[in-house]
Structure 1
Amino acid sequence: MKRARLFVYGCVIAFYVLAAGAQAHAADVAGSSDYPLVGRYEGSEIFVYQKSDFDRVDLLNGALPAKFDDTTIPEDKRLRLEGRSFRIVYKAPHDRSALEIDANFAKSLKDKGFETLFSCVDRDCISGSSSLYRFGSLIDDTRRNFYYGDHVVYRLAVLKRPQGDVYVSILSGKGTEPVVAMRIAEVKPIEDDKIVFLDATAMKTSLDVSGHVALYGIYFDTDKSDLKAESAPTLAEIAKLLKSDPGLVLIVAGHTDNQGEFDYNVSLSQRRAASVATSLMRSYGIAKSRLIPFGAGMSAPVALNDAEAGRAKNRRVELVRR
Structure 2
Amino acid sequence: MSMKLFRQWGASLCLGFLAMVSVVPAWAQDLAGAKDHPAVKRFGGSTIVGYEVRNFDAVEFQTSTFKEFDLQTYKRRYAQPPLALEGKLTRLWYEAPGATRSLELFRNYTNDLMASGFAALYDSTRDGAAGSYTNFLANFSSGQRDFIKNNRSEYVMYGADAGTVRTGTFQKGSTTVRLISIDWPKEDATYKSRQGAYIAVDILETKAMEQNMVVVSASDISKSITANGKVAIYGILFDTGKADVKPESKPSLEQIAAFLKAEPTVKLHVVGHTDSVGSFDSNLALSKRRADAVAAMLAKDYGIAANRLVGNGVASLAPVASNSSDEGRAKNRRVELVPQ
Normalised by the size of structure 2, how large is the TM-score? 0.47
Structure showing the higher helix proportion among its residues? 1
If you compute each CA radius of gyration, which structure gives the higher value, 1 or 2?
1
